[in-house]
Structure 1
Amino acid sequence: MTIHQHPHVTDRDAHFVGGGIASLAGAAFLVRDGNMPGENIHVYEKLDVVGGAMDGAGDPDEAYLIRGGRMFNYPAYECTWDLFESIPSLEDDSRSVKDVMDEFNEAHPSYAKTRLMHEGERIDAGEYGLTSQHRQSIARLLLTPEPRLGDTRIEEWFDESFLETNFWYVWATIFAFQPWHSVAEVRRYMYRFLHEFPRLHTMEGIDRTKYNQYDSMILPLRRWLEDRGVSFEYGHEVTDMDIVPSRTGRTVERLYCETDSGTETVPVEPSDLVFMTNGSMTDGSSIGGMDEAPELNETGASWELWKSIAEDNPQFGNPSVFADNVTETKWESFTVTLHNTDLFDHIVDFTNEEPGNGLVTYLGSNWLLSTVVAAQPHFANQPDDVKVFWGYALFPDREGNYVEKPMSECTGREILQELCYHLQCEDRLPGLLDDVTCIPAMMPFITAHFQPREPGDRPEVVPDGSNNLAFLGQYAEQPRDVVFTVEYSVRSAMTAVYEMLDLDREVPPVTKHYRKPGVIADTVRAAYR
């Protein structure tokens, strides 16, 4: 192992580009495991709030907004639990965030009875409907080494009938896979979650937070970091960095930030550390309203920065693979706030699912609409007489069944009208929507991490020859773990911190549940249902 001659950690600064969960986790690991003083750590965020994709905002009067919701899994997510077992909850600082989550999930276990519906009828989603040819294709995928898959798409690996099975509808709408996405990512998911294969349709293995993830995870983590002196530089968009090559490698010497008052230059010493979240799934998001459709943005700040530094440093990856196909990487979500709870109550009755049970997908929907009715309240400041639910659609460019236009052109009101058609209550419009607010969110890069890719398109967490720059988040390569998870971001942060500080600590390995005989037997049985 190379021994780096660096000053003591107390004499070094750390700069985090982006304020998502990866940066917050990285800052926590620097303090907790690296003994770096919090005041030496700086987080630069272009927005006025941290948390990235783990968001949750609003109030009952102006309406609530969550662009998405991350699902969790125990016993997977090894690094996430390692972190949040050491972060005190806001409600009771004698208990960790993980303790509160465990208590909540014990009281509100997931068990979806109505995972799929078609024209008002519940479909038995546990009947996966796989043929022998489908099973052979899955087995062949699991046995093919990932490098040999290259940029093969799902629709190139599986025949068309596979994409019409109950299994695919359950799989695609839980994880947000599209037929044109990378089959290599499907392979990773199958290995990572093979222990969940038999019960994907009930979502029993899904753990949730008590409130939205911003309230339940980001706020206590931010508070913990602030209490230790970590500085959050809001309204700071890092637009460029000086990376100087030499015989000993590449070294970041300067960051450039755009702020309301102009360009700020941040000097970086050679012994300082820079952690950059390269690419963001919620970058370029556009928010609509009850009577306003969201816009579609084609780019975002994190992508522009990544492209800028990768141009002269090919080992920093190939951002265009992920960022230049917005038509293939976008979808749209919507958050509904209800003072008049008739529609909320109707969804619960119509689907026969109690709040907190899981995801319901409406297969007759051209948009492939799904709704999630979380356990209430879903926000810490949500009154008892106000309800909130969330939904999304994988095909926002298709014309609706009821509203004769693509979802991407629809206002929040029109999205709810389309939903009411699939809930078979459109005859009660417009009364159902009185005192109800629907906020649509268009996310151009929400599944960019699933784009077909080749080895090298994602940079290593610490690229070869990088002296003080590490990459974090969904677009840094980590063998065997799966993107579109909080775990992937937290794991990247732990890996980066431990490697950059040469810590004598081991990142918890990805658990190989697929090697357990019982898991294999249960999976095979499920594949024949």
Structure 2
Amino acid sequence: MNSAVQNSPSPVLKREEYVESSAHRKVYLVGGGIASLAAAAFLIRDGDIPGCNITILEELEKLGGSLDGTGTPHDGYTLRGGRMLESKYLCTYDLFSSIPTLDQSKTVTQEIFEWNETMKTSSKSRLVRDGRRIDAPRYGLGEKQILTLERLAAEPEGGLGNSSIADQFDPSFFETNFWLMWCTTFAFQPWHSAVEFKRYLVRFTHMVEGFNRLHGIMRTVYNQYDSMVRPLQRWLEERGVRFELNTRVTDLLFEESDAKRVRSIHYESGGVSGKIDVASEDLVIVTLGSMTEASCLGSMESVPALHGKADGGAWTLWEKIAAGRPEFGRPSTFTDHIDQSKWVSFTTTLRDPAFFRIVRDFTGNVPGEGGLITFAESSWLASIVLPHQPHFIGQPEGVNVFWGYGLSVDEPGDFVKKSMAACTGREIMTEVLGHLRVETEAIHILETSTCIPCMMPFITSQFLRRVKGDRPQVQPEGWKNLAFTGQFCELPDDVVFTVEYSIRSAQTAVYALLDLKRKPPPVYKGHHDPRVLYKAYRTLHDMTG
């Protein structure tokens, strides 16, 4: 990247001059996650912006953000996590209906739906207790708890304020199977925002029926980096989009007269500072914050360190630009409570089929069919998921990969008497084998496994208690050429910690900045369908079966 990119200023263009102007307008996207990649695609597909006029600035050495996937069969594969998909992610499937798969045989959307017709999720062991699987667990809710759920679904968000989930329920709620399955599927904690919990209740009302078997949850053929990010990246590359990797944006300078706008972008790359001048017709789209910022990997023999917001650029950039600008939100709401937002995930690469065979026979599900398995009595509140194999493109036959995580990472384990946060990969695998009651083959499995733990200090920061204004609007009021995307901007009705939220924010940003006479598809509202409500009512009362 040049240390300075000079763009000559031009007057504000009338709408009828838009098509001509799009050939000259430049767009800069800060952050290389799915939100920026999606925004670039919408700019090209729906906004007629030439790909060569779009630049994505990413501080890491590869794109994809939280939808990552890397490694080798020898050293071990790693995934920090994978987002849940379901059939009502309308923005996601709209985007990927335009993106071919890597083999060019169909669109990514077609591939996802065809795959999930073949590999339907239907768990026969959503919970494990005392070394035994529980098939279709009962929810175990009392009438008072169900009434509270119904009240939350109906109550306006303003009435909930910055209250927590624990503020809304009696302590016995957190001992029910419903909470155990809900919190581990979505990674909620009792101290998280009641508003976010309410949004999830409403957004996924249509999935309450069958939730104890994970019906309706969809997967990609491979991990989401290989199945979604790589095809999208290639599509953008073919159209000339520029990717500036290992480039950390450190500041934005503004012109704050009557028409507020970004005037320049400041960055560091390879130890060198630089500046991009932003012309009056140019656009800037910033992904705010990062739930995987400052992540740290351990190894089979080492523990991942706990880092903070200073160990990356996303949070510090948001703090810098938000200072004195309340319309940019309040990043401290999400950055300053690591003990309430951290947890540990782990990816295990196995060079022997024993573990997968044991889990298959124990659960009654083949890999890819069962979804999340939660150890209900785990002090770590640990869960694992065995995806269909191969999970990585190029993964050799005879090598298997699975992923897991724990929500209570500061509690001592049940078989390894240490907190999950203080455990090596070997110790985490020992704990998992203990909950599965694997004894005779445990040593062999450990000898043929590479378990890589990952500490993520901000992974559920988007769930922290918040009030109106903590998250800025996608296009902040009064700003002409600036928009925000990602998990920390405000979108009515939809839920964070999803691919859909990032892509919806990108679509919203592009359409607003380009003044296009179109909107993203509306959020699906199954709670307005009496049939959906009736099924949810029966399910919450354990009246199905």
**How many percent identity over aligned positions?**
48
1:94 Cα deviation from its structure 2 partner: 4.2
- Quote the Cα distance in structure 2 between the aligned partners of 1:345 and 1:331: 28
Which residue of the partner structure matches residue 390 of structure 1? 403
Distance 2:507 2:105 in 1: 24
Corresponding residue of 1:217: 228
Q: Unmatched 5+ residue regions in structure 1? A: none
Alignment partner, residue 499 of structure 2: 486
Instruction: Name the residue aligned to 1:255.
Output: 265
Aligned counterpart, 2:287: 277
Q: Which letter maps to 1:204?
A: H
The answer to whether the 8 Å contact 2:97/2:107 transfers is yes
1:28 aligns with 2:41: yes
Contact residue 133 and residue 362 of structure 2 kept, 8 A: no
Deviation at 1:506, TM superposition (A): 2.1
Task: Tell me if structure 1 keeps the 8 A contact 2:138–2:212.
Answer: no
- Which of the residues 105, 119, 123 maps onto 2:130? 119
Pair 1:436-2:446 in alignment: no
Deviations 1:498-520 (A, max 9, x none): 00000122210112211111101
Q: Name the aligned partner's letter for residue 362 of structure 2.
A: F
Instruction: Pick from 346, 352, 364 the counterpart of residue 358 of structure 2.
Output: 346
- Counterpart residue number, 1:132: 143
Give the deviation of 1:190 after TM superposition. 1.0
Distance in 2, Cα, partners of 1:348 & 1:476: 41
67, 80, 83: which one pairs with 1:54? 67
Deviation at 1:3, TM superposition (A): 6.7
Query: Counterpart in 2 of 1:467?
Result: 480
Deviation of 1:266 (Å): 1.1
User: Which of 158, 181, 185 is residue 196 of structure 2 equivalent to?
Assistant: 185
1:271-290 CA distance string (max 9 Å, x none): 11100000111111001101
Tell me the equivalent position of 1:367.
380
User: Contact (CA 8 Å) 1:417, 1:426: kept in 2 or not?
Assistant: no
| Separation of aligned partners in 1, 2:274 and 2:355 | 49
Equivalent residue runs for 1:1-400 within 5 Å:
8-74=21-87, 76-91=88-103, 93-248=104-259, 250-299=260-309, 300-356=312-368, 357-400=370-413
Q: Which amino acid is 1:429 matched to?
A: A
Structure 1 runs (4+) deviating above 3 angstroms are 2-7, 426-429
User: Distance between the aligned counterparts of 1:371 and 1:478, measured in 2?
Assistant: 31
Indicate the larger mover: 340-349 or 295-304: 340-349
Question: Residues of 1 paired with 2:525 and 2:425: CA distance?
Answer: 43
2:110 is paired with a residue whose SS is helix
Residue identity matched to 1:353: N
Q: How does 1:516-527 map to 2 (within 5 A)?
A: 516-527=529-540
Q: Deviations over 1:43-84 (max 9, x none)?
A: 00011100001111112122101110111110x111000000
1:474-509 deviation per Cα after TM superposition (whole angstroms, max 9, x unaligned): 001000000000000000000000000001222101
1:190 partner letter:
L
Once the two structures are TM-superposed, the CA of residue 125 in structure 1 deviates from its matched residue by 4.2
Give 1:412's aligned amino acid. Answer: G
Return the offset for 1:227.
0.2
Query: Pairwise CA RMSD of aligned residues?
Result: 1.3
Checking the alignment, whether the CA contact within 8 Å between 1:125 and 1:166 is kept in structure 2 is: no
Residue 427 of structure 1 and its aligned partner are, at CA, apart by 5.0
Instruction: Give the letter for the 1:421 counterpart.
Output: G
How far apart are 1:267 and its partner, in Å? 1.0
CA offset at residue 312 of structure 1?
2.1
Provide the C-alpha distance between the structure 1 equivalents of 2:399 and 2:290, rounded to a whole number of angstroms.
32
| TM-score computed with the length of structure 1 as normaliser | 0.97
Check whether the contact 2:43–2:49 (CA below 8 A) recurs between aligned residues.
yes
Structure 2: which 5+ residue stretches go unaligned?
1-12
1:448 counterpart = 2:458: no
Q: Deviations over 1:249-280 (max 9, x none)?
A: x2111111111141111111121110000011
